[in-house]
Amino acid sequence: MEQESKFGRRDFIRVAATAAAAGAAWAAAHPSSGTTVWQLDPAKCLQCGRCSTTCVLNPSAVKCVHSFEICGYCDLCGGYLQPGAKARDSGAENELCPVGALKRTFVEEPFYQYTIDEELCVGCGKCVKGCAVFGNGSLYLQVKHDVCVGCNECSIARNCPANAFQRVPVRNSYLLKTRENGGKGHK
Amino acid sequence: MKLKLLAAVFLLLGLWTVQAATEFRFPMPEFESGYKHPAMSIPPASKTSPWVDLGLLAGALALSAWSVLRLRSRRYVFLIALVSLAYFGFYRKGCVCAVGSMQNILSAFFDPGYAVPLIVSAFFLIPLLFALYFGRVFCAAVCPLGAIQEMFAIFPVQLSSAVEAVLGLFAYAYLGLSVLAVYMGAGFLICRYDPFVGFFRQGASFNMFLAGGVLLLAGVFIARPYCRFLCPYGVLLRWASRFSKWHATITPAECIQCRLCETSCPYGAIVVPTPEDRPVDQRTGARRMGRLFLAAPFIIVIAAGAGYLSHEPLARLHPTVWLAERVAGEEQGRYEEKTIDGDAFRAGKRAATELYAEAHALKERFKYASACFGAFMGLVLCGKLIRLSIVRSNKDYVVDRGACLSCARCFAYCPVEKSHAAK
């Protein structure tokens, strides 16, 4: 028993390693920094379509969202209709969305409300491009946090040609386009 | 004067807000029907509190250590592994993970602007501390990557120690490469090439499923191939476990040298007693050791040189270097098709020369970093050779604390265990 109570070389190494590992972990940590999650900056987004193809999930955790407060409620919606569509109606041949996730409902003459069926949306950004080119840019892409699994290295971020992905605090996890920020997605 | 200034500021502010409001091409209509737009659905993140993850990690580690060291029960270890696989694997989708957290810690050291939350630090630290005191109980039952392979280790065969030693070097190479990638800002390789996370998420690319499937199927015979021959965090745990204060022992009391446990370990972690008559003369061994020490500097320098020479392909791990080569290639017409990346770059404001300069600077840094990586591999090789040349004399069947994954298989093979339990 006396042998065991002695503080040997192995004990020293163990204590030193404990101290080193704990020190390293402590030095690396920012106790003030909370959990962060991935989000994409709509101001940088180029609508290249990679969000729908490079996410580890299928369908992607990136979905189109719609900022109603900056929407123009146009009848001729660049996000909803194919360029050069024959009619402004919900015929499949006229719709831009490849999965029919963008729904249009009549509000009053001549205005229509556009909503996204997130179950269907694959985050391809076709409508986003259409809305950005022709409209107010009220349709844009966001990482939906009820779907996102929060990878340590976001696969879309790695493949994003615009470097639009960044980590944001979990409490404020969307970069929303509002009337106040002029549709920029951040202040 | 002050008032005038204030008035001017307010006027400017007012003008600015008007400007902002009229920025939209199509103004928001004023509805006559009293229409109110619906609210946006912006579900919050984080379904699970990180403290729950941390508590479960610590709890599972403590239970695992208890099952291995006190209960000496493979059944309990297996049960904890099942629960860990279900929670950390399939429920949390493999993405709160000690193996990957190593890269976040490294990032914080290489880039002071990188913020690592305390939880991530704790995920890195706690399994290491447990290894320092109880052995690799994390690998035994808590790591979901280990657990999924443990389920597949049905007909394990024993590898020869030479094969094991050579394959074991790959884990060091993977560790070195992932440190290199984090140092150079080229991303997290461990996460990118995690072979089993695709099963946890039930979705991945074909190649990822293929790699994971091959590893799992190989793991039916060669138990836990990822843990033994690839896992970079396992290398750290291996180092920590060598100095563990309490470690699982094959027999609960005295070894009777019955040899029954000899074939029980699928991980090659059982060290057989040294034969009485040593095969090699002590002086021959000492001379070999001396030669090894003399050769070590040369091996390291040669390995560093090999690392230096491979800096070109290694540099392509970095997205900027890759993009620069792609853009240059597209400019020279080397590629048939243009990529989104190239188009996006040309659409941006940056000049191509600026990108090339940045890539060039990165490549220069890669030369040095790749040489360091090579030197590290040389050092590992020398360390391995030296370890193999040291003859340790032990009378009994003991565990190799570094290689032992504390899976608790061997306990049942020991006849002393049964008589001990009967008492």
Residue A2 pLDDT class (50, 70, 90 cuts): very low
pLDDT, one tens digit per residue, over B397-417 is 999 999 999 999 999 999 988
Inform me whether the C-beta atom of residue B57 falls under 8 Å from chain A C-beta atoms.
Answer: no
Domain check: are B146 and B238 in the same one? yes
- Greater confidence (A182 vs A54) lies with A54
Sign of the CA dihedral running B255, B258, B262, B264: negative
Domain check: are B77 and B213 in the same one? yes
Of A57, A108, A170, the CB nearest to B46: A170
Give pLDDT, residue B190. Answer: 94
Alpha-carbon gap: A71 to the closest alpha carbon of chain B (Å): 6
Burial of B173 (0-12, 13-18, 19+ CB in 10 A): middle
Alpha-carbon gap: B156 to the closest alpha carbon of chain A (Å): 32
Instruction: List all residues of chain B from 155 to 184 with a beta carbon under 8 Å from chain A.
Output: none
Inform me whether the C-beta atom of residue B45 falls under 8 Å from chain A C-beta atoms.
Answer: yes
- Residues of B with Cβ-Cβ distance to A65 under 8 angstroms: 40-42
- Residues of B with Cβ-Cβ distance to A170 under 8 angstroms: 44-46
Of A14, A33, A155, the CB nearest to B117: A33
Domain check: are B181 and B200 in the same one? yes
Domain check: are B266 and B307 in the same one? no
In B, minimum Cα distance to A15 occurs at: B132
Report yes or no on B31 lying in a domain.
no
Strand partners, A65: A140
Buried b vs exposed e over A10-40: b needs ≥16 C-beta within 10 Å? eeeebeebbeebeebbeebbeeeeebbbbbb
Q: For this complex, say whether ipTM is above 0.90.
A: no
Alpha-carbon gap: A179 to the closest alpha carbon of chain B (Å): 7
Please tell me the distance from the alpha carbon of residue B246 to that of residue B282, in angstroms, as a whole number: 32
Domain check: are B228 and B333 in the same one? no
pLDDT in tens, chain B (423 residues): 455 555 555 555 554 544 444 567 888 888 888 888 888 888 888 667 888 999 999 999 999 999 999 999 999 999 999 999 999 999 988 888 999 999 999 999 998 888 888 888 999 999 999 999 999 999 999 999 999 999 999 999 999 988 999 999 999 999 999 999 999 999 999 999 999 999 998 888 888 899 999 999 999 999 999 999 999 999 999 999 999 999 999 998 889 988 899 889 999 999 988 877 766 677 887 888 899 999 999 999 999 999 999 999 999 999 999 999 999 999 898 888 888 898 888 888 889 999 999 999 999 999 999 999 999 999 999 999 988 888 778 888 999 999 999 999 999 999 988 887 776
- Residues of B with Cβ-Cβ distance to A134 under 8 angstroms: 25
The CA-atom distances, in angstroms, between B212 and each of B145, B294, B352 are: 10, 42, 39
Alpha-carbon gap: B122 to the closest alpha carbon of chain A (Å): 7
Domain check: are B129 and B201 in the same one? yes
Contact state of B117 with A22 under an 8 Å Cβ cutoff? no
Domain check: are B258 and B290 in the same one? no
Segments forming the whole domain that contains residue B78: 52-272+407-422
Domain check: are B179 and B294 in the same one? no
In B, minimum Cα distance to A108 occurs at: B33
Report yes or no on B413 lying in a domain.
yes
- Greater confidence (A49 vs B391) lies with A49
Domain check: are B93 and B180 in the same one? yes
Alpha-carbon gap: B204 to the closest alpha carbon of chain A (Å): 6
pLDDT, one tens digit per residue, over B230-259 is 999 999 999 999 999 999 999 988 899 888
The CA-atom distances, in angstroms, between A40 and each of A51, A156, A180, B95, B310 are: 10, 10, 19, 20, 35
Give pLDDT, residue B17. Answer: 47
Domain check: are B161 and B305 in the same one? no
Strand partners, A168: A37
Rounded average pLDDT over A130-149: 91
Report yes or no on B92 lying in a domain.
yes
Buried b vs exposed e over B261-278: b needs ≥16 C-beta within 10 Å? beebbbbbbbbeeeeeee
In chain B, how many domains are there?
2
Q: Which of B121, B123, B200, B339 is the best substitution to test chain A (most A C-beta atoms within 10 A)? A: B121
Q: What are B302's two structure tokens?
A: 């040669």
Q: What are A40's two structure tokens?
A: 């994409």
Domain check: are B252 and B337 in the same one? no
Alpha-carbon gap: B20 to the closest alpha carbon of chain A (Å): 5
Contact state of A135 with B25 under an 8 Å Cβ cutoff? yes
Of A35, A135, A158, the CB nearest to B46: A35
Of B31, B97, B201, the CB nearest to A108: B31
Domain check: are B318 and B185 in the same one? no
Alpha-carbon gap: B40 to the closest alpha carbon of chain A (Å): 7
- The percent of residues above 90 in pLDDT, for chain A, comes to 39
Report yes or no on B94 lying in a domain.
yes
Give pLDDT, residue B4. Answer: 57
- Greater confidence (B374 vs A150) lies with B374
- Residues of A with Cβ-Cβ distance to B343 under 8 angstroms: 161
Mean pLDDT is lowest, of A64-78, A80-94, B132-146, for A80-94
Contact state of A35 with B319 under an 8 Å Cβ cutoff? no
Q: What are B77's two structure tokens?
A: 């270890």
Inform me whether the C-beta atom of residue B119 falls under 8 Å from chain A C-beta atoms.
Answer: yes
Report yes or no on B368 lying in a domain.
yes
Give pLDDT, residue B423. Answer: 66
